[in-house]
Amino acid sequence: MDASFWLESWRDGGTKTSFHRRDVHPFATRYLPAHELAGKRVFVPCCGKDNVLNYFRDNAAHVVGVDLARSAIEEYMADNGIALDEVEPGRFEGDGITLLARDLFALTADDLGAIDIVWDRASLIAFPDEGPDSLRQRYIRKMHDLLSPGARILLVTLEYGPIMPEPPFSVDPATVRGYFAEGFAVDHILDDAQPNHRMVEKFGLRFFSEHAFEMTRRGEKRHDGARTRELVAA
């Protein structure tokens, strides 16, 4: 699942981008209701052209999305009839929204600005966890690095069997805890079994569940003289 896999998926479209939903994912509106988004800055890693960007643009102070595929961002603008300004190569700005056509692994906290909330749907589970320093391990480290104490991630994963060698990968709750428990308080808030999900019939699955987690970056912010030092628990 290197860059070319995703760039080709966006180029070919059709079933290769069947992860794209026409609606706003119901967990976004359920767990991040509009009144909780007021004044918040939201980050959507691996955003594709997800309509959830519109929900955050409408209800949060600002949404920042990043996707490797510039074509995904161009499709987002075309689908929604908006023209964002490309203020520097690969950085698109508009009212309440910034979209970055960049590699997530090259992002710095300065690229994003302060982030209060992360929406991760089909992002962690898009990366394989094979071998040392896997893409998924690098993704998990990146979330630890980019987020300050108190920032929350709303993470959605899929758990199904038998497992498949391509995204979306099956990631169960115990594995999520193992990935994040050191740096985040992890709350498993939903196990939503969906025996009639389209993937069950398409891939002959025996079971299929969509999980939601709320995870809060550990640590405390301490005012230390003229500057605030962030102390992140080990």
Confirm or reject binding of residue 6 to ligand SAM (CB under 6 A).
yes
Q: How is residue 206 written in tokens?
A: 């025996």
Residues paired with 97 in a beta bridge: 63, 94
Site membership for ligand SAM, residue 67 (CB under 6 A): yes
**Would you count residue 210 as binding ligand SAM (CB under 6 A)?**
no
* Among 32, 63, 66, 176, interactor with ligand SAM by CB under 6 A: 66
**Interface with ligand SAM, residue 142, by CB under 6 A:** no
In Å, the largest CA–CA distance within the chain is: 60
Query: For residues 152 and 118, is the Cβ–Cβ distance under 8 A?
Result: yes
| Cα–Cα distance for residue pair 63/24, rounded to 1 Å | 15
Residue 122 binds ligand SAM (CB under 6 A): yes
DSSP state of 126: G
Q: Is residue 12 within the footprint of ligand SAM (CB under 6 A)? A: no
CA dist 81 and 158 (Å) reads 32
Residue from the set 33, 34, 94, 105 that interacts with ligand SAM by CB under 6 A: 105
Kindly indicate which of the ranges 122-130, 173-181, 198-206, 211-219 contains the residues binding ligand SAM, using the contact rule CB under 6 A: 122-130
Neighbours of 73 (CB within 10 A): 25
Size of the site for ligand SAM (CB under 6 A): 20
Q: What residues between 70 and 99 interact with ligand SAM by CB under 6 A?
A: 72
Q: Which of 12, 23, 103, 145 binds ligand SAM (CB under 6 A)?
A: 103
Question: Considering the rule CB under 6 A, would residue 50 count as an interface residue with ligand SAM?
Answer: yes
53 binds ligand SAM, rule: CB under 6 A: no
SS3 40: coil
Q: Which of 40, 41, 121, 217 binds ligand SAM (CB under 6 A)?
A: 121
Residue 104 contacts ligand SAM per CB under 6 A: yes
Residue 67, amino acid: D
CB count in 10 Å sphere of residue 232: 15
**Considering the rule CB under 6 A, would residue 42 count as an interface residue with ligand SAM?**
no
- Is residue 46 near ligand SAM by the rule CB under 6 A? yes
- Please check whether residue 233 is in contact with residue 217, taking contact to mean a CB–CB distance below 8 angstroms: no
- Least distance in Å: CB of 124 to ligand SAM? 10
Q: Confirm if 17 and 9 have CB atoms less than 8 A apart.
A: yes
The answer to whether 69 contacts ligand SAM (rule: CB under 6 A) is: yes
Omega of the bond leading into 162 within 30 degrees of 0 (cis)? yes
Radius of gyration of the chain (CA): 18
What residue ranges bind ligand SAM (CB under 6 A)?
6, 19-20, 46-48, 50, 66-69, 72, 103-105, 121-123, 126, 167
